Amino acid sequence: MDIISDITEMQNRCLAARAAGRKIAFVPTMGFLHEGHLSLLREGRKRGELLVLSIFVNPTQFGQGEDLDSYPRDLARDERLARDCAVDLLFYPAAAAIYPPDYATFVNVDGPLTATLEGACRPGHFRGVATVVAKLFVIVQPHVALFGCKDFQQLAVVQRMTADLNLPVEIVGMPIVRETDGLAMSSRNVYLSADERRQALSLARALAHGRQLAADGVRESGAVLTALQAMIEAQPAARIDYLRICHRATLQEQERIDADSVLLLAVFFGKPRLIDNGPLLDQAKPC
Ligand code: AMP
């Protein structure tokens, strides 16, 4: 595995691989790798001949007062895990190289997809995500890029951008990887105290209960949301940012539950903010 920080060197390596007919699979991350990231890498290993991992804590997707400075980092450990997944190239650029002082170009996915949920709670977040993913695609030149359904809206935004800009990249969504007790894996879980972590299990319980209510025939979103809100708010540290039932493709709220319904939530437990989601009726699609 080669570790490359230089953008031009990375692009040249990828352009050469493409010219040689090698299929490039790409997994963009912010590092502090866990099993969720590794599941993407393992799938990427199967799908591509050159497997590229990027680790870049992207400043433009963090808002004022968010956790950019404290975001967990451990490159030595990430390097070991990447080697174990047979990553070929680890791209590790500096923020000043991705965004030099005269940097002026941003990618904005407009419209209802970004106006809601994370986009409404974190203004500018998806502008930062779309910009860095577009830049990484131009640098890495992937044939296929893998993203987790953990960031459900991000995946939808990346798919929209890729289609709108006619980028020749296949976007693959991968299922959420959870701890054995149900907590969705996240680099940010290290922020949770033992007590907050215990309380955070209410999210997986709420998702399971929502699925159960839907399986029992409840179709009114309001009834399900009221029940789940009570479950989550029974935890003293919990503060709900949003809790919604939306159509999986449009992300618009649904009054009635159907096969396209996804439950999406963001909840603070003390300072840490966790997101999670899951389908209510149709478990067949990963996202
Ligand atoms: P991040 O490093 O948090 O930006 O995540 C990098 C990629 O890993 C994104 O596509 C995430 O959706 C994905 N990811 C993060 N957590 C999980 C998880 N628990 N299961 C599956 N994919 C995940």
Encode pLDDT of 86-121 as tens digits: 999 999 999 999 999 999 999 999 999 999 999 999
Residue pair 74/32 in contact by the 8 Å Cβ criterion: yes
For residue 229, the domain's CATH number is 3.30.1300.10
Q: Does residue 68 sit in the same domain as residue 199?
A: no
* Average confidence (pLDDT) over 226-252: 98
Tell which of 115, 139, 174 closes a domain.
174
H or E, element range at 98: helix 95-98
Please tell me the total count of domains within the chain.
2
Ligand 1 centre to CA of 39 (Å) is: 9
H or E, element range at 201: helix 194-215
Tell which of 174, 206, 232 closes a domain.
174
Distance, C-alpha 53 to centroid of its chain: 15
Q: Does residue 191 sit in the same domain as residue 104?
A: no
- Domain range for 150 is 2-174
Q: Does residue 9 sit in the same domain as residue 140?
A: yes
Ligand 1 centre to CA of 216 (Å) is: 31
Looking from the CA of residue 147, the nearest atom of ligand 1 is 10
In a domain, 287, yes or no: no
Ligand 1 centre to CA of 105 (Å) is: 25
* Average confidence (pLDDT) over 254-262: 97
Find out whether the beta carbon of 185 lies less than 6 Å from any atom of ligand 1.
Answer: yes
Find out whether the beta carbon of 132 lies less than 6 Å from any atom of ligand 1.
Answer: no
In a domain, 31, yes or no: yes
Q: Does residue 6 sit in the same domain as residue 143?
A: yes
pLDDT band at 284 (very low <50, low <70, confident <90, very high): confident
Beta strands in the chain (DSSP E): 2-4, 24-29, 50-55, 89-91, 144-148, 170-174, 238-247, 261-269, 273-279
For residue 29, the domain's CATH number is 3.40.50.620
Neighbour count for residue 225 (Cβ, 10 Å): 18
Which tokens hold the place of 47?
Answer: 């799908």
pLDDT band at 71 (very low <50, low <70, confident <90, very high): very high
Q: Does residue 142 sit in the same domain as residue 199?
A: no
State how far the Cα of 149 lies from the Cα of 155, in Å rounded to an integer: 7
H or E, element range at 77: helix 75-84
Find out whether the beta carbon of 176 lies less than 6 Å from any atom of ligand 1.
Answer: yes
pLDDT tens digit sequence for 24-33: 999 999 999 9
State how far the Cα of 181 lies from the Cα of 212, in Å rounded to an integer: 18
What is the model's pTM?
0.97
CA distances, 212 to each of 208, 224, 263, 267 (Å) = 6, 10, 13, 21
Catalytic-labelled residue, pool 34, 37, 143, 247? 37
From 26, 27, 29, 146, mutation site for ligand 1 pocket: most ligand atoms within 8 A of C-beta = 29
Tell which of 112, 146, 174 closes a domain.
174
| 143 classed as catalytic | no
